[in-house]
Amino acid sequence: MTTPTRREQILATAAALFARRGFHGVAVTDIGAACGISGPALYKHFASKDALLAELLVGISEELLRVGLERVEAADSPRAALDALVDWHLSFALDHRDLIVVQDRDWSSLPDEAREQVRSLQRAYVDVWADRLRELDPDLDLEAARATAHAAFGLLNSTPHSALLPDAAMRELLHGMALRGFGVA
Amino acid sequence: MTTPTRREQILATAAALFARRGFHGVAVTDIGAACGISGPALYKHFASKDALLAELLVGISEELLRVGLERVEAADSPRAALDALVDWHLSFALDHRDLIVVQDRDWSSLPDEAREQVRSLQRAYVDVWADRLRELDPDLDLEAARATAHAAFGLLNSTPHSALLPDAAMRELLHGMALRGFGVA
DNA sequence: GGCCCAGGTTAGTGGTCGTTCACCTCCCGC
DNA sequence: GCGGGAGGTGAACGACCACTAACCTGGGCC
């Protein structure tokens, strides 16, 4: 709740602009202008425009995985773990709509190293979900469980794109759809 | 099954490239090269790079809506209509992975007129789904039905991104998830 | 045979964008 | 008070890219 640093301000405004117009559709001049500074001042805070994107996407991938693991840890059944994961993912998606949009649109614009980092974090996160699904149904094979998790992300991540309902209603609707989709409702 | 015209070849090649690297990440030279011609020859077939994108996206929006309506017409219950819609959407997504990816990534790069056209076609398509959902549950309000349809698209459209299972298995998995999500399984 | 035009070609142009450079200015520690 | 670094500025540069211009070519048609 402290006043955000310039660096954080840049990250937030960049996320908003990237979400609306795409990484390549936003010039560094635009980001600067939206922060009240102009153009090349960004380079006092980030090595490059790519590095800015990388920090956004690596950051959210780490947070999704880290908190996801915490929630699973705190749950006392596979069923409860899945419920907690859906709840967590939905909270994140509702609180960081911009980042969700940027993540699955501009992932391919990342420099190689960051792209690999995000990829492996995402794979780990998918497997947190997939393992819970397989605990619940031991006959489910690993690839099918991963595909199921992926489908759930697609479902939950639809919320930043549609935005048709108040957050609470959207949360309840998507939570129910996801759990019923898993067959655990 | 006739040999594709140069025009169709360009459309298909462009779709593949756009899907992999994004609209702004592909140069007209790249598209030409991938077709065995080079650079500005494209302008003998399309007015601009934007127009090429527009033709891709307007085309798929029209086809999704048109066939969607046909399938609903042929169904004899709301339940059967939803089943047919899921089946149709899944067939389309599996057959046109590239276009699905391009549609929800590069929609914002469309010129104004085409963007409005796609938007209104998509809204109509969403409402085809939403109306069926409300026939099934008359207490569901319109915005919630639309959000539900939107979520289903997110779920079904995850398949081009994940591609973890053979088509038949993926189809079965997602079909089941969608219908259970609707609460009609 | 001669016209023509659909569909290529290469060279060039204007604009945009990421990034660098040289410079300025305020504030903070000694 | 004064030196220096953090953070800002505008100008310039080099790359890239969509698009245009001018030109070539070969096959169908009268």
Residue-wise pLDDT tens digits, B11-22: 999 999 999 999
CB contact under 8 A, A165 and B157: no
pLDDT at A143 over 90: yes
The closest CB to that of A147, out of B152, B156, B173, belongs to B173
Mutate which: A103, A115, A180, vs B, most B CBs within 10 A: A180
- Structure-block tokens of residue B34: 């991938």
Whether A85 maps to a domain, the answer reads yes
Q: Could you tell me which residues come within 8 angstroms of residue B120 by beta carbon, excluding any fewer than 6 positions away?
A: none
Which nucleotide's C1' atom has the smallest distance to the CA of B26?
A: D17
The full DSSP string for chain B is -PPPPHHHHHHHHHHHHHHHH-GGG--HHHHHHHHTS-GGGGGGT-S-HHHHHHHHHHHHHHHHHHHHHHHHHH-SSHHHHHHHHHHHHHHHHHH-HHHHHHHHHHGGGS-HHHHHHHHHHHHHHHHHHHHHHHHH-TTS-HHHHHHHHHHHHHHHTTHHHH--S-HHHHHHHHHHHHHHHHT--
Residue range B65-108, pLDDT digits in tens: 999 999 999 999 999 999 999 999 999 999 999 999 999 999 99
**How far from each other are the two terminal CA atoms of chain B, in whole angstroms?**
38
According to the model, what pLDDT value does residue B21 have? 94
Whether B7 maps to a domain, the answer reads no
* Å between CA of A10 and C1' of D5: 21
Domain range for residue A172? 49-182
According to the model, what pLDDT value does residue B3 have? 58
| Chain B residues near residue A178 by CB distance under 8 angstroms | 181
According to the model, what pLDDT value does residue A23 have? 96
Whether A19 maps to a domain, the answer reads no
Q: What's chain B's average pLDDT?
A: 96
According to the model, what pLDDT value does residue A134 have? 98
Q: Which residue of B has its CA nearest to A25?
A: B24
According to the model, what pLDDT value does residue B174 have? 98
CB contact under 8 A, A162 and B147: yes
The number of C-beta contacts closer than 8 angstroms across A and B is 113
Predicted confidence band of residue B1 (pLDDT cuts 50, 70, 90): very low
According to the model, what pLDDT value does residue B71 have? 98
pLDDT at A19 over 90: yes
Split into its structural domains, chain B has a count of 1
Whether A104 maps to a domain, the answer reads yes
Could you give the residue ranges of the DSSP H alpha helices within A36-96? Answer: 49-74, 78-95
pLDDT at B167 over 60: yes
Interaxial angle between packed helices B97-106 and B49-74, expressed in degrees from 0 to 180 and rounded to the nearest 10: 120
Average pLDDT of span A171-181: 98
Whether A167 maps to a domain, the answer reads yes
Residues near chain C (nucleic strand), Cβ < 7 A? A 24, 26-29, 39-40, 43, 48-50; B 6, 32, 37-41, 44-45
Whether B43 maps to a domain, the answer reads no
According to the model, what pLDDT value does residue A119 have? 98
| Chain B residues near residue A159 by CB distance under 8 angstroms | 151
- Looking at strand C, which nucleotides approach a protein CB closer than 7 A? 6-12, 16-21
Whether A43 maps to a domain, the answer reads no
Helix, strand, coil share of chain A (percent; to 5): 80, 0, 20
pLDDT at B135 over 70: yes
* Å between CA of B72 and C1' of C9: 50
According to the model, what pLDDT value does residue B2 have? 47
Residues 8-37 of B with CB under 7 A from strand D: 24, 26-29
| Chain A residues near residue B106 by CB distance under 8 angstroms | 22
Residue range A59-103, pLDDT digits in tens: 999 999 999 999 999 999 999 999 999 999 999 999 999 999 999
| Chain A residues near residue B178 by CB distance under 8 angstroms | 181
CB count within 10 Å of CB B66 equals: 12
* Å between CA of A120 and C1' of D6: 36
pLDDT at A3 over 80: no
pLDDT at B184 over 70: yes
According to the model, what pLDDT value does residue A97 have? 98
The CATH code of the domain that includes B156 is 1.10.357.10
Whether B157 maps to a domain, the answer reads yes
pLDDT at B172 over 70: yes
According to the model, what pLDDT value does residue A1 have? 43
**pTM of structure:** 0.96
pLDDT at A2 over 70: no
Residue range B17-73, pLDDT digits in tens: 999 999 999 999 999 999 999 899 999 999 999 999 999 999 999 999 999 999 999
